[in-house]
Structure 1
């Protein structure tokens, strides 16, 4: 993917790009602002993920290069998102059928401006262009409607115990 520039209705120029090792600390900061400690990926986990699959991190950046929002996950042939995937980057298979989404993070001061939606549309486009069967994510019940707007279907309560909360597994099939 080459960088893609978007212009919002406010004439703000945004860029979508993949992660590099230089982004790890900023990504970890946003992750910890967006998720409770039991659910957030650690700095080391993010570092390991970026090293193993930088192409599966989509970053939305402002005109100064600051990260506003990011989506990350990996590719696998396994159909369901399972807890062991979060901590084992070696399971990534770039030729896999399913794009897993581990997190959709938007820095708090940028939330509710449509940035996560803009980025999700790009991730869906890229997964489709890569020939994936689709995308899979888990979310809390309050976000089922949000993901449904992109075509994700709620498959019910996931077996996940990540963070000791109840997760819905959602799938978008092409």
Structure 2
């Protein structure tokens, strides 16, 4: 398995994996990913099995401490020197799940955020994943203001 950051050439593969991981109301679109890759491709961590994209983590940097729904749609809000690394998505193809691949990508995102001098990482997740993210040091801050996809989200923060 190989981990690297993204380029615009990864657009179709990223969009395809996202569509297999999230329901349509929650999945980012091809146009949204194109915008994200234009603004912060270096904040996409991709994992490949040979040349097949099997998992990825993405999100931008900001000085805002909380993850908001607006951030998903407005890639131009990215601040390369922002103190918080937001995580918008953790995606693994169904046939590759439960093998630790997402965890390796999360650890890479944490390591990169630390080496870049960030204050920490912030994500939102459904209640069934709170325990999973806690294993990496993320702390549950309670129900998020996010209404993305009409789902209840919990904000989690890892301070570095």
Question: Quick one: which of 118, 128, 131 aligns to 1:145?
Answer: 131
3-state SS in 1 of match to 2:91: strand
Aligned to 1:48: 35
3-state SS in 1 of match to 2:25: coil
- Cα separation, 2, equivalents of 1:101 and 1:116: 12
Question: Quick one: which of 59, 63, 79 aligns to 2:65?
Answer: 79
Pairing 1:1-174 to 2, within 5 Å after superposition = 14-62=1-49, 64-174=50-160
More contact order relative to length (CA 8 Å, sep ≥ 6): 2
- Cα separation, 2, equivalents of 1:16 and 1:143: 23
Aligned-CA RMSD value: 0.6
Q: What are the Cα deviations for residues 26-73 of structure 1, in whole angstroms up to 9, with x where unaligned?
A: 1001101100100000011011101110001000111x2211110000
3-state SS in 1 of match to 2:4: strand
Q: 1:15: how far off?
A: 1.0
Give the TM-score normalised by the residue count of structure 1. 0.91
Q: Which protein is bigger by CA-based radius of gyration?
A: 1
- Cα separation, 1, equivalents of 2:97 and 2:61: 27
Q: 1:108: how far off?
A: 1.1
Structure 1, unaligned runs of 5 or more: 1-13
**Equivalences, count:** 160
Moved over 6 A (4+): none
- Cα separation, 2, equivalents of 1:89 and 1:167: 21
Give the TM-score normalised by the residue count of structure 2. 0.99
